[in-house]
Amino acid sequence: MSSAEHRTDLTRRELLQGTSALGLGAVLVPTAAWAQKPTVKLAFIGPLTGGTASNGLGGRNSFLLAVQERNADPKTRYTYETEVLDDECKPTVAVQAALKATSDPAIVAGVTHYCSVTAIATVDTYHKAGMPAMVWGAVLPEITYSHKYVEVTRVNGTMINQNNVAADFAVKTLGFKTFALVHDTTDYGRAHAKWFGEFLEKAGGKILSTQGTAKDQKDYTAELTRAKADKPEVIWYGGLTPDGVRVKVQMDKLGVRAQFQGTSGIKSDTFNETAGPSSEGTLAFVEGAPTEKLPGGRRFLEAYAKAAFKEPSEAYGPFAYVAANLVIDAIEAMGPDRAKVAERLKRTRNPNTIIGPVEFDEYGQNTVSLISKYVSQDGKWVLWEDSEYASGKRTLPGHKFKKM
């Protein structure tokens, strides 16, 4: 018990050093205590600027947290340095970042990409350079399923499983029949709409309309009015938080009497904070076990809070944290050799990470990814099974409208 406490203490001090150094963007400098250990470099790539920065910064912080914790652990064989690179959520910039990481022989592996468009663009770069890269946030199926590169693995699930669960749940468990789909026209929204639509029809749901909207669109009056005319039971939105907030708030303003269902992109604290009372009863689905329910997950959340990062970890922070830990595990076992680490990573079999068990298939895709169902209740995301909606104490907006 006391040793555990001692460890947290050390972690915390390291974290404070780390975060203050981060302000200047400095690379973490190992202190004398473990200076004699050989040094290994890890790369993190994600969007640190622009519209999706909040997710990228949350992922980066979680990644740094993992590295700092492992550095503080006297049992590790190596000291880990980090190279954090911004991909701006743009493919060209991502390729440059990936090239920079792979060009540095000191970098053994990377935890890479939140935006699907950047992850798919860089797959070949990692393969050519032979550098293992573990995707921590991008959900497009093709990132793993379009090739069999040993270098590329992904800890988070694809949108295929997510939408399978989401469609079945909406139709079979909740009993909704008619859906109006709205999605952003990025590959995230488009592919989500495609998969959700397919699974919806299989489950017996009916799509009344499908509309694509530009990312960062402000006004959804036209789309919502059009969708409203068909009187759908559910308005489904495939896209990210800022746009999801606007869709939901404007639904209420226009008096669209339907259930609102989103994807992993809106499962953020920001959604509830920004949409305010409008968020109540919104559904969202995320890959991975609920972090706050697992013992390790709770420790992660506490450590993250203690580290006093400027930004919250967001929905995919835990994935970046797990990816960093898996990569470090592989390096500890195999030594700083890219090929051996890649080989080892692909054979990962870890039954208890903070996102649940992790195991990769022949494509490097984490197969045992659980899908968690969430509902927004009193301004918080609550696991469906624990919510007052499931227990019957409250009624989902969609069910209320149905009765009237």
Partner 1 sequence: MALPLTFAASILVTGLVGVAAERVCVKPLARASPLMTLLATLSLGLVIRESVLIFYPRGADPKPFPQLLPQGGFEVGGVAIRYESLVILGIGLAAMVAVDRVINRTKMGAAIRAVAQEPEAAQMMGVNLDRTVDATFFLGSGLAAVAGILSGLYYSEIHFIMGITGGVIGFSAAAIGGLGNVYGAIVGGLLFGVLQTTAAALIPRGSEFRDVVAFAVVMLFLVFKPSGILGEKSVERV
Partner 2 sequence: MSHDLALVWLAEAAVFTLVVAGILAERPWALGATGAAIVAAGALVRFVPRLGTTLAGAFARRRPAALGAGVVLALALPLALRSSPYWTFVATLALLYVTIGQGLNLQIGTAGVINLAGAAFAGLGGYSVGLLTVAAGWPSWLAVLVGPWVAVAVGTILFVPILKTRGHYLALVTIAFVFIFNILMNNLEFTGGPQGIKNIPTLRLLGHAFTTKPVLAGVELPSHANFYYAALVMAGLTTWVLRRLHDSWLGLALNTLRDDEIAARCCGVSITRGKLLAFSIGNFFIGLGGAFYAVMVGFVSPPDFDFGYSLVMLSVIIIGGVDSIPGVVLGACLLVPLPERFRFLHEYRLLLYGVVIVVMLLYRPQGLWPAQVRRYR
H helices within 291-396, ranges in order?
295-306, 317-334, 338-346
Please tell me the distance from the alpha carbon of residue 40 to that of residue 335, in angstroms, as a whole number: 9
Please give the angle made by the CA atoms of 375, 60 and 338, to the nearest 5 degrees.
Answer: 120
Shortest Å distance, C-beta 211 to partner 2 = 12
Q: Is residue 378 a contact point for partner 1 (CB under 8 A)?
A: no
Is 57 a binder of partner 2 (CB under 8 A)? yes
Q: Are 356 and 176 in contact (CB under 8 A)?
A: no
> Given candidates 53, 138, 159, 322, which one binds partner 1 under the rule CB under 8 A?
53
Q: Extract the runs of DSSP E, i.e. beta strands, from 221-355.
A: 234-238, 259-261, 283-287, 349-353
Structure tokens at 382: 């609550």
Q: Determine the residue type at 104.
A: D
Beta bridge partners of 109: 42
At residue 125's C-alpha, the angle toward residues 121 and 131, to 5°, is 130
Q: Which of residues 221-250 bind partner 1 (CB under 8 A)?
A: 221-223, 225-226, 241-242, 245-246, 249-250
Angle, nearest 10°, between helix axes 2-22 and 53-72? 130
- Pick 215 or 226: Cβ nearer partner 2: 215
Q: The tokens of 208 are what? A: 């009344």
Give the shortest CB-337-to-partner 2 separation in angstroms: 19
Closest to 45 in 3D by CA, of 145, 157, 136, 155: 136
Indicate whether 278 belongs to the interface with partner 1 (CB under 8 A).
yes
Of 29 and 214, nearer to partner 1 (C-beta) is 214
Contacts of 204 (CB under 8 A, 6+ apart): 171, 172, 177
Beta bridge partners, 236, equal: 181, 261
Q: Which structure tokens are listed for 164?
A: 């399978």
Which positions from 179 through 218 interact with partner 2, judged by CB under 8 A?
185-187, 190, 212, 214
The window from 99-107, 244-252, 330-338, 372-380 that contacts partner 2 (CB under 8 A) reads: 99-107
Q: Which stretch binds partner 1 (CB under 8 A): 51-59, 100-108, 132-140, 165-173?
A: 51-59
> For residues 41 and 183, which CB has a smaller minimum distance to partner 1 in the complex?
183
Residue with structure tokens 């939408």? 163
Alpha-carbon gap, residue 374 to 193, rounded angstroms:
19
Q: Which does 249 bind (CB under 5 to 8 A by kind): partner 2, partner 1, none?
A: partner 1
Residue 75 Cβ, how far from partner 1 at the closest point, in Å? 35
Choices 95-103, 233-241, 363-371, 379-387; region in contact with partner 2 by CB under 8 A: 95-103
- Options 15, 28, 42, 53; binder of partner 2; rule CB under 8 A: 53
Residue ranges binding partner 2 (CB under 8 A) = 22, 25-27, 48-50, 53, 57, 60, 84-86, 88-92, 95-97, 99-100, 102-105, 117, 120-121, 124, 128-129, 140, 142, 185-187, 190, 212, 214
Residue ranges binding partner 1 (CB under 8 A) = 49-51, 53-54, 57, 185, 211-214, 216, 218-219, 221-223, 225-226, 241-242, 245-246, 249-250, 253-255, 268, 270, 273-276, 278, 310-312
